[in-house]
Amino acid sequence: MKPANQLMATMGNLPALEPRLPLQVTPQTAEVVNDLFRRLRGIFPAWRQAWPSTEALDAAKAEWIKEFADEGIRTLEQIEFGIQKCRKLKKPFAPSVGEFIAMCAPGPEDFGMPVVGDAWIEAL
């Protein structure tokens, strides 16, 4: 049996999987993520639905760190922006990592400007 990365390399139009180096988590990064999850638990009363045990919470933290690194979330300001958007949500459940990452990037409406589609129509 061949490994998946060898099979993928022979498929032509699909890129070969490159082995990823283990992510080094500094104590400062761990502190930021622990604070983020503490704040998320304060904002979302149904957070136990997403993280019912200590093991699930620890696994989520590890995944969030990986996704933050992959998606370029590297500043406290980006995370704070996501937290501010979480406070405005009208739901009791915590967001997924993808939803939170999307909230970390401000859009034009966050600065009082129209959304892109409305701006295009207005420009026309």
pLDDT of amino acid 124: 85
Q: The dihedral of CA 73, 78, 84, 90: what is its sign?
A: negative
75: left (phi over 0), alpha (psi -120 to 50) or beta: beta
Quick one: pLDDT band at residue 24, thresholds 50, 70, 90? confident
Q: From residue 27, give the alpha-carbon distance in Å to each of 3, 12, 34, 50, 122.
A: 35, 42, 10, 25, 48
pLDDT of amino acid 77: 95
Segment 39-65 shows an average pLDDT of 96
Selection from 13-22, 87-96, 106-115 with the highest mean pLDDT: 87-96
Q: In terms of C-beta density within 10 A (0-12 exposed, 13-18 middle, 19 or more buried), how is residue 20 classed?
A: exposed
pLDDT of amino acid 69: 93
Q: How far apart are CA 75 and CA 48, in angstroms?
A: 27
The whole-angstrom distance between residue 40's C-alpha and the CA centroid of its chain comes to 13
pLDDT at residue 29 tops 80: yes
- Other C-beta atoms closer than 10 Å to the C-beta of 103 total 21
Q: In terms of C-beta density within 10 A (0-12 exposed, 13-18 middle, 19 or more buried), how is residue 10 classed?
A: exposed
The model's pTM: 0.74
